[in-house]
Structure formats: structure tokens, C-alpha cells
Amino acid sequence: MRFGDVEALAPLDLTVQAGQRVAVVGPSGAGKTTFLYLMAGIHAPTSGTVRVGGLSVRELADVRRRAAAVGIMHQQFDLVPSLAVVHNVLAGRLREWSLWRSLLSLIVPQESERAREALRRVGIEDKIFERTANLSGGEQQRVALARLLVQAPRAILADEPVSSLDPTRAEAMVRLLVEVAGTDRTLVASMHAVPLALQYFDRIVALRDGALLFDRPSRDVAPADLEALYEIDDAGPAASDGRRRDRAGGQSMVRPPEAR
């Protein structure tokens, strides 16, 4: 995948099976968001082919097909702050509604019980008629997740879902993502919080400088793999051994937690 003269993502051959939980990890600028955007049909590949649920990116250009195949939770959540929570959640139904019904829903929310149930599942049912702008960042993230529940895609993509959360809330959000995906939906998330990726995801796809470094079950990822992934050459005084290792959420990248 190229943007002008810049190769954002080198060619790779990768298959994600239905129902898998895949964490995409790597340093900033590794190509994680580009990878997700290719899967979501937001970017068209400049070479090669991307297929999601048997559909090519060209076929995913159809809005209804894309919404049925894949849903994405962006880092900024893509909510309309001036609208009530119920309207933002029901935006996940727009692919199924006519223009008339979509406009009517702004006055009298359609399928409000569906929205209420989705909000109940993410723990903020009581916020259904709140103005979205009045919610905290964590609550807005849950609204975005409830919208995905209402959309009901076959695959859920999450771009850095815990980057702005403290460690306790980060783990709660990852648990919620896994719970919402269940066993019948595919979940692919880009993650800086490597310990959470190792703990809650079946498979780790590691990108560095736009290239695939390794792809293996999370239980098989060794500390040496993570050292190679996050190693930064640094001859300065800050690195006692001539190298510097990134950290995520205050936890060392090279010490996988015990699986639960």
C-alpha cells in the first residue's frame, strides 16, 4: 500500500479466519491503521487484493455490503456530539433504513429498544437520551461500541481502542470488545498495550516499518520477539546497553502476562 512515494504497508499474505481474535501490534508508524483501513474498505490497495468475508474491496464500495461485512471503531469514535446517544447508536441501522425512516428517526427514534439493549450490553443504558457531548470519553467509546452492536457486522475492527484509557479502564474495554464479538464475529484490533493483546487475543500480527515481522498464536510469542519488534537503535546516554525499548501502559513490552 503506497501513498505517493511512501510505502505504508509492504506486500503481505495474511488470512484471518471467521471468529478469530487478532491483535495487530507494532511501534507507532508501523502500518497498523493502514492495515485496518484496508480491511474496512476505507483504503483501496495500490497492489494486490484484499477480501473481507469473500468480498473484494471493490465490492465493499457498496455501503450496505460493507456495513454488513465489517464495522470499525475509530480512535475518535465518529459520533455527532450534538445528538442524543440514542441517535448515534441507531446510526448503525442506517444501511437498513430508507432515507425517510432515517430522517423520521431524528424526531422519533426508530427501534429505540434495539438501541437500549445495545447500551445495556455496554453498561450505559441510563445514558440513552443524554446529549452525547455531555458524556465522558470512556462513555462515548461505549456509545461507539453500542453502534457496532446495532450495525451487527460479521467483523469488528478497532483502531487503538485503549490508547487514551488508564490501565484499569483499558482492560475493561478490551474485555468488553471480546465479549461483544463473542464467538461468531471476527475481532481485529490495533494495540499498543501488548500485555492486553497477549492476554485477550488468540493471535498476534506484528508490523514494523510497514512490514510483517511475525504472525503467530499469542501463546507462542516470546519476549525476544517483542524485543525485536520494539527495539530502537540509540547510542545516546538514555540507553545503558545501546538500545531503548518502548513501553505501553507503564508495563514492559517484553514481559508477557500469564494467560487467564
List pLDDT tens digits, range 192-203.
999 999 999 999
- Residue-wise pLDDT tens digits, 45-76: 888 888 887 777 777 777 777 888 899 998 88
Residues facing 211 on adjacent strands:
208
Annotate 99-113 with b (16+ C-beta within 10 A) or e (fewer).
eeeeeebeeebbbbe
Q: Which three cell numbers stand for residue 250?
A: 507503564
Dist. CA 174–CA 161, nearest whole Å: 8
Query: ∠ at Cα 151 (147, 156), nearest 5°?
Result: 85
The candidate with the shortest Cα–Cα distance to 189, out of 123, 246, 181, is 181
Within 8 A by CB and 6+ apart from 94, the residues are 67, 102
Within 8 A by CB and 6+ apart from 103, the residues are none
The residue type at 90: L
Q: What is the pLDDT of residue 255?
A: 40
Domain boundaries, the chain: 2-220
CA 71 from chain centre, in angstroms, equals: 9
Pairing of strands 2-3, 6-7: antiparallel
Does the pLDDT of residue 242 top 70, yes or no? no
Return the higher-pLDDT residue of 66 and 27: 27
Q: Which fold has domain 2-220?
A: Rossmann fold (3.40.50)
Return the higher-pLDDT residue of 164 and 145: 145
- Residue-wise pLDDT tens digits, 116-132: 999 999 999 999 999 99
Model confidence band, residue 44 (pLDDT cutoffs 50, 70, 90): confident
